[in-house]
A and B are shown apart, each in its own frame.
Chain A
Amino acid sequence: MLTRRQVLLGAAGGAIGSRLLWPELAFAAAPVTAGVPAGTAGEAVLDALPGKKPLIKLSYRPPNYETPLQYFNQVLTPNDAFFVRYHLSTIPELDAKTWRVKVGGDAAGTPAEYSLDDLKRGFEQVELVAVNQCSGNRRGLSQPHVQGVEWGYGAMGNARWKGVRLKDVLAKAGVKKEAIEVAFDGADEGATDKTPDFIKSIPIWRALEDSTMIAYEMNGQPLPHWNGFPARVIVPGWTGTYWMKHIVAINVLSKPQGGFWMNPAYRIPKGKFPLVDRFVTQETDANTPITEMVVNSLITGPANGQKVKAGQAVEVKGIAWDGGYGIQSVEVSTDGGRSWRPGQLGQDLGRYSFRPWSYRFTPGAGKHLVMAKATNRLGATQTMELLFNPAGYHNNVVQKVEVTAA
Chain B
Amino acid sequence: MRILLLAALIALAAPALADEAQIKLKDGPGKDAVETNCAACHSLDYIPMNSPFLDRGKWDATIKKMIGPLGAPIDAKDVPAILDYLTKNYGSS
Asked if B57 lies at the interface with its beta carbon under 8 angstroms from chain A, I say no
Asked if B75 lies at the interface with its beta carbon under 8 angstroms from chain A, I say no
CA distance A260 to B71 in the complex (A): 11
Instruction: Verify A149–B49 contact, CB threshold 8 A.
Output: yes
> Chain A contacts of B93 at CB under 8 A?
none
> Chain A contacts of B62 at CB under 8 A?
147
> Chain B contacts of A144 at CB under 8 A?
53
CA distance A45 to B48 in the complex (A): 13
Asked if A194 lies at the interface with its beta carbon under 8 angstroms from chain B, I say yes
Interface string of A188-200 (1 = CB under 8 A from B): 0011101110000
Interface string of B21-62 (1 = CB under 8 A from A): 111000000000000000011110111111111100010001
Contacts A5-B19, A195-B70; A62 near B42 (Cβ below 8 A): yes
Q: Is the interface of A mostly helix, strand, loop or mixed?
A: loop
Instruction: Verify B19–A47 contact, CB threshold 8 A.
Output: yes
> Chain A contacts of B13 at CB under 8 A?
61, 89-90
Asked if B90 lies at the interface with its beta carbon under 8 angstroms from chain A, I say yes
Instruction: Verify B41–A191 contact, CB threshold 8 A.
Output: yes
| Shortest CB distance B39–A (Å) | 8
Instruction: Verify A60–B49 contact, CB threshold 8 A.
Output: no
Instruction: Verify A194–B20 contact, CB threshold 8 A.
Output: no
Instruction: Verify B43–A150 contact, CB threshold 8 A.
Output: no
> Chain B contacts of A3 at CB under 8 A?
18-19, 21-22
CA distance A144 to B48 in the complex (A): 17
On A, residues with C-beta under 8 Å from B are 1, 3-5, 37-40, 42-45, 47, 49-50, 57-63, 89-91, 144-145, 147-150, 190-192, 194-196, 260, 264
A-B contact sample (18 more), CB < 8 A, given A43-B23, A60-B23: A3-B18, A4-B18, A39-B48, A39-B51, A49-B16, A57-B19, A59-B45, A59-B49, A61-B20, A89-B13, A91-B14, A147-B50, A190-B41, A191-B40, A191-B42, A195-B41, A195-B72, A264-B69
On B, residues with C-beta under 8 Å from A are 7, 9-10, 13-23, 40-43, 45-54, 58, 62, 69-73, 90
